[in-house]
Amino acid sequence: MTIFRQAKWNEPIVYEISRDSKEGVLLDEEFRDYALRFLSKLPKHIIRDSLNIPSLSEVEVVRHFTRLSQMSYGVDLGPVPLGSCTMKYNPKICEELASDRRIVEAHPYLDEEDVQGLLEILYTLQKWLAEIVGMDVCSLQTPAGAAGELAGALMIKKYHRDLGEGHRDEMIVPDSAHGSNPASAAMAGFKVVRIPTDPRGNTDIEALRAALSKRTAGVMLTNPNTLGLFEEYIVDIAREVHGIGGLLYYDGANLNGILGYARPGDMGFDVAHLNLHKTFAAPHGGGGPGAGAICAKGALADYLPVPLVEYDGRKYYFKYDVPRTIGRISWFYGNIIPAIKSFLYIATLGPLVKEVAEVANLNTNYMLKKLSALPGVDLVYGYGRWRKHEFVISFEKLYKETGVGAEDVAKALLDRGFHAPTILFPLIVPEAHMIEVTETESRENIDNLINAYKEIINIAYTNPSEIKRCPQNTSVKRLDTVYGNLPKNIALTYRSLKGKTA
Amino acid sequence: MPHPWIPNSYIKNELMKEVGISSILELFNDVPRELLLVKNLNIGFGRPLTEYQLVRVFDNLMKKNAYSYKVPPFLGGGVCFHYVPAVVKHVASRSEFYTAYTPYQPEITQGITRALFEYQSLMADLYAVDVVNASVYNGSTAMAEAVRLTVRVTGRKSAVISRSTHPEVIEVVRTWSEPVGISVSTVDYDRDTGRVDLSELEDQVRKLKPAAVAIQTPNFFGIIEQDLKEVSQVVHENGSLLIVYEDPIFTGILEAPGKLGADIVVGDTSSIGSGLNFGGPSAGILGIRDPEEKLLRQLPGRLIGYTKTVDGEDSGYIMVLQTREQHIRRERATSNITTNSTLEAIKAAVYLTLLGSTGLKKLGESIAGRTAFLVERLKSVGLEPAFKEGVYLREVLFRHPNVSDLRNFLKRHGVYIGPLVDRFYPELSNCGLVCVTEVHSKEDIETLAELVRKFSEVMAS
Give the DSSP per-residue string, B35-97.
GS--SPP--TTSS---HHHHHHHHHHHHHT-----SS--EE-SS-------HHHHHHHT-HHH
Q: Mean pLDDT of all residues in chain A? A: 96
pTM passes above 0.90: yes
**Residue A178: other Cβ atoms inside 10 A:** 27
Q: Which amino acid is at B343?
A: L
- A351 and B305 within 8 Å at the Cβ level: the answer is no
Looking at the predicted structure, is the pLDDT value of residue A502 above 70?
no
Q: Which of B83, B315, B115 is nearest to A64 (CA)?
A: B115
Read off the pLDDT of each residue in A123-141 and give the average, rounded to a whole number.
98
Q: Do the Cβ atoms of A362 and A442 come closer than 8 Å?
A: no
What domains does chain B contain, in order, with CATH numbers? 7-56 (no CATH), 74-83+356-460 (3.90.1150.10), 86-350 (3.40.640.10)
Residues 326-385 of A with CB under 8 A from B: 326-338, 344, 346-356, 358-359, 361-363, 365-366, 369, 385
Cα distance between residue B404 and residue B422, in whole Å: 11
In angstroms, the CA A277 to CA B52 distance is 23
Q: Which residues of B touch A24 (CB under 8 A)?
A: 87, 353-356, 359
Q: What is the DSSP string of B130-165?
A: SEE-S-BS-HHHHHHHHHHHHHHHH---EEEEETTS
Strand ranges inside A276-331, DSSP E: 292-296, 308-311, 316-319
Report the Cα–Cα distance between both ends of chain B, in Å, rounded: 67
- Could you give the CA distance from residue B178 to residue A337 in angstroms, rounded to a whole number? 30
Residue of A nearest to B432 (CA): A109
> What percentage of chain A has pLDDT greater than the value 90?
96
Residue range B319-343: mean pLDDT, rounded: 91
What is the tens place of the pLDDT at every residue in B169-226? Answer: 999 999 999 999 999 999 999 999 999 999 999 999 999 999 999 999 999 999 999 9
Is the pLDDT at A3 greater than 90? The verdict is: no
DSSP 8-state class, residue B392? B
CA-to-CA separations, A260 to A257, B35, B42, in angstroms, rounded = 9, 11, 10
Check residue A472 and give its pLDDT: 96
Q: What is the mean pLDDT of residues B301-322?
A: 97
Please choose, from the candidates A360, A379, A340, A394, the residue with its C-alpha nearest in 3D space to the C-alpha of residue A258: A360
Q: Classify domain A96-351 by CATH number.
A: 3.40.640.10
Q: What is the pLDDT of residue A21?
A: 74
Asked if A91 has any chain B CB less than 8 Å from its own CB, the reply is yes
pLDDT of res. A1: 56
Bridge-partner residues for A195, per DSSP?
A174
Residue A251 to residue A269: CA distance in whole angstroms:
10
Number of Cβ pairs closer than 8 Å across A and B? Answer: 702
Q: Whose CA is closest to B169, among B135, B143, B192?
A: B143
Integer-rounded Cα Rg, in Å, for chain B is 26
Residue A42 has pLDDT above 90, yes or no: yes
Q: What is the pLDDT of residue B274?
A: 98
Calculate how close chain A gets to B135, using CA atoms only, in Å: 9
Report pLDDT digits (tens) over A299-309.
999 999 999 99
Closest CA to B133 of A465, A305, A492, A89: A492
Half-sphere exposure of B398 (CA within 13 A, CB side): 33
How far apart, in whole angstroms, are the C-alpha atoms of residue B328 and residue B334? 11
Q: Does residue A171 register a pLDDT over 80?
A: yes
Residues of B in contact with A41 (CB under 8 A): 391
When pLDDT is averaged across residues B386-407 and rounded to a whole number, the result is 96
Interface residue A192 vs chain B (CB under 8 A) = yes
- The answer to whether the peptide bond before residue A264 is cis (omega within 30 degrees of 0) is no
Answer yes or no: do B44 and A346 touch at CB < 8 A. yes
For residue B112, list chain A residues with Cβ-Cβ distance below 8 A: 68, 72, 286-287
**ipTM of this predicted complex?**
0.98
How many angstroms from the chain centroid is the CA of residue B224?
19
Q: What is the pLDDT of residue A2?
A: 62
CB contact under 8 Å between B43 and A131, yes or no, is yes
Q: How far apart are the C-alpha atoms of B115 and B113, rounded to whole Å?
A: 6
Q: What is the pLDDT of residues B400-459, one digit of tens each?
A: 999 999 999 999 999 999 999 999 999 999 999 999 999 999 999 999 999 999 999 998
Q: Which residues of A touch B256 (CB under 8 A)?
A: 48
What does the DSSP assignment read for A201-248?
SSB-HHHHHHH--TTEEEEEEESS-TTS---TTHHHHHHHHHHTT-EE
Q: Average pLDDT of A479-485?
A: 96
Are β-strands B395-399 and B384-385 bridged in parallel, bridged antiparallel, or unpaired? antiparallel
CB of A200 within 8 Å of a chain B CB? The answer is no
CATH 3.90.1150.10 residue window(s) in chain A: 356-483
- By Cβ distance, the residue of A32, A143, A184 closest to B336 is A184
pLDDT for A199 equals 94
- pLDDT of residue A465 exceeding 90, the answer is yes
Per-residue pLDDT at A361: 98
> In terms of DSSP bridges, do strands A247-251 and A216-222 run parallel, antiparallel, or are they unpaired?
parallel
The answer to whether the beta carbons of residues A69 and B91 sit under 8 Å apart is yes
How far apart are the CA of B287 and the nearest CA of chain A, in angstroms?
Answer: 11
Q: Cβ of A498 under 8 Å from any chain B Cβ?
A: no
Strand A432-435 and strand A391-394: the pairing is: antiparallel
Q: Mind telling me how many Å the CA of A19 is from chain B's nearest CA?
A: 9
Residue B184 is given by DSSP the state E
Tens of pLDDT, residue by residue over A240-257, are 999 999 999 999 999 999
A39, A51, A391: which to substitute to probe chain B, counting the most B Cβ within 10 Å?
A51
Distances (CA, A) of B454 to B419, B446, B457, B460: 21, 12, 5, 10
Rounded to the nearest 10 degrees, what angle do helices B228-237 and B198-208 cross at?
20
Rounded mean pLDDT of chain B? 97
What is the C-alpha separation between A275 and A252, in angstroms, rounded?
A: 6
Cα dihedral sign for B452, B455, B457, B460?
negative
Instruction: Please list every residue in chain A whose beta carbon sits closer than 8 Å to the beta carbon of residue B257.
Output: none
pLDDT bucket at B328, cuts 50 / 70 / 90: confident
Q: Does A187 touch chain B (CB under 8 A)?
A: yes
pLDDT at A24: 86
- Tell me the CA end-to-end span of chain A in Å, nearest whole number: 42
| CATH 3.40.640.10 boundaries in chain A | 96-351
> B421 to chain A, minimum CA–CA distance in Å?
11
| A196 φ, ψ (degrees, to nearest 5) | -75, 175
Comparing CA positions, the residue from B178, B33, B95 lying closest to residue A158 is B178
Superfamily of domain A356-483: Aspartate Aminotransferase, domain 1 (3.90.1150.10)
From B75's Cα to the closest Cα of chain A, the distance in A is 7
Chain B residues with CB under 8 Å of A104 CB are 84, 275-277
User: Concatenated DSSP letters for B228-259?
Assistant: HHHHHHHHHHTT-EEEEE--GGGTTTBPPGGG
- What does the pLDDT average to over B257-262? 98
Nearest to B6 by CA among A445, A147, A45: A445
Q: Mean per-residue pLDDT for B137-156? A: 98
Please give the pLDDT value at position A77.
97
* Mean predicted confidence (pLDDT) in A442-447: 98
Once rounded to an integer, what is the mean pLDDT over residues B37-63? 96
CA nearest neighbour of B249 among B371, B363, B169: B363
Contact A117, A343 (CB under 8 A): no
Q: Coil, helix or strand for B413?
A: coil
Residue A414's nearest CA partner among A328, A351, A475, A491 is A475
Rounded to 5 degrees, φ, ψ at B185 are -125, 160
Bridging pattern class, strands B264-268 and B284-288: antiparallel
* Backbone CA torsion sign across A239, A244, A247, A253: negative
**Under the phi-then-psi rule, with left for phi > 0, alpha for psi from -120 to 50, and beta for the rest, what region is A426?**
beta
Asked if A339 and A290 touch (Cβ cutoff 8 Å), the reply is: no
Interface of A with B in 2-61 (CB under 8 A): 6, 11, 13-15, 18, 20, 22-25, 27-39, 41-43, 45-49, 51-56, 58, 61
**Torsion angle (degrees, nearest 10) of CA B209, B214, B220, B222:** 110
Give the burial string for A272-300 (b: 16+ CB within 10 Å, else e): bbbbbbbbbbbbbbbbbbbbbbbbbbeeb
Cα–Cα dist B186/B168, whole Å: 13
CA A495 distance to own-chain centroid: 31
In single-letter form, the type of residue at position A168 comes to R
pLDDT of res. B326: 86
Does B278 sit within 8 Å of A103, measured CB to CB?
A: yes
